[in-house]
Amino acid sequence: MSWKAWALALLEEQEEPTPLVEFPAGGPVTVLMKDESAHPTGTMRHRHARALFRQAIAEGLVTEGTTVVEATGGNAAVAQAWFARRLGLPYVVVMPGQRSEERARRVEELGGECRFVTPPLAIYEAAREIEGHFLDQFGRAAEHDLADELLAQVEPDWVVVGANTGATSATLGRRTRVAVADPENSAYFPGWTLDAADYATGMPSRIEGIGRPRVEPGFRGELVDRVIPVPDEESRAAARTIAEVTGHPVGDASGTALVAGLRLAERMKGGLIVTVIGGIPASR
């Protein structure tokens, strides 16, 4: 078997479906949380990382021994480093700002290398200068299996997700009604409202993992039914509540999705809402 065939077979290996946990909303609408922290990497970026590797290998962009490169400061680096280790590939992530031992530790424990760059927006150019294949999570559309798995479990009236690259909302939006939960400073809510694909706020999100200072190419506004802005403090408070319900820590982005889901529920007389949540890799 060739390395390519072996690698694609490994990436196609089935993982257990992540569970649905009911949130005690206390009204006529059932609110379930799709808990993506059950993935081996503990993060919502797990599926997208697998899809990016699968696409790159299938297209011949990544072969045996290719150094895989990404530019991100979030949990995508943890998920990508995990898959790179399974595939025996070198992995380098360029992160914004000064070196953070916490952020670096998660990646380096998985065999990856972290490079920190300032100013923050310089990470993309720095990543392109590294010899290897730049995964480019923001620039490449890669379909993953969340929609198939979720719709095999339940038939929701709404699915609520946060948006970072836009890949998850696009994947789900082709199959069901989707609401995007958007934190402060993010460009997605105003960009979607104004139908402005080039909208930019110029300010970074303070909720790790979601929200962008500009509308990213992977965000497909025409596949999104609603975008709901959520104050950061409400996101953090909701994340603490989710941790009490699930018994494990979750990222603040999970709180953003839950707040948006509960706002939708207030407008409904019944039905089912699923919010997508994820954990904190360092806590696993």
Which value, in Å, is the radius of gyration of the alpha carbons in the chain? 18
The answer to whether the CB of 45 falls within 8 A of the CB of 74 is yes
Tens-place pLDDT, residues 78-127: 999 999 999 999 999 999 888 778 778 999 999 999 999 998 889 999 99
Which two three-digit tokens encode residue 132?
Answer: 């290897």
Fold of 47-134: Rossmann fold (3.40.50)
Map tokens 């408070």 to a residue: 237
Strand partners, 29: 271
Contacts of 129 (CB under 8 A, 6+ apart): none
Distance (Å, rounded) from C-alpha 211 to C-alpha 189?
9
Q: Which parts of 99-216 fold into alpha helices (H)? A: 101-108, 123-128, 146-153, 167-173, 188-193
User: Is 3-44+143-283 in CATH node 3.40.50.2300?
Assistant: no
The CATH 3.40.50.1100 domain(s) of the chain lie at 3-44+143-283, 47-134
Task: For 3-34, write each residue's pLDDT tens digit.
Answer: 999 999 999 998 899 999 999 999 999 999 99
pLDDT category at 283 given cuts 50, 70, 90 is very low
pTM of the model: 0.91
Averaged pLDDT of the chain: 94
The H or E element spanning position 271 is strand 271-277
What are phi and psi for residue 102, nearest 5 degrees?
-65, -50
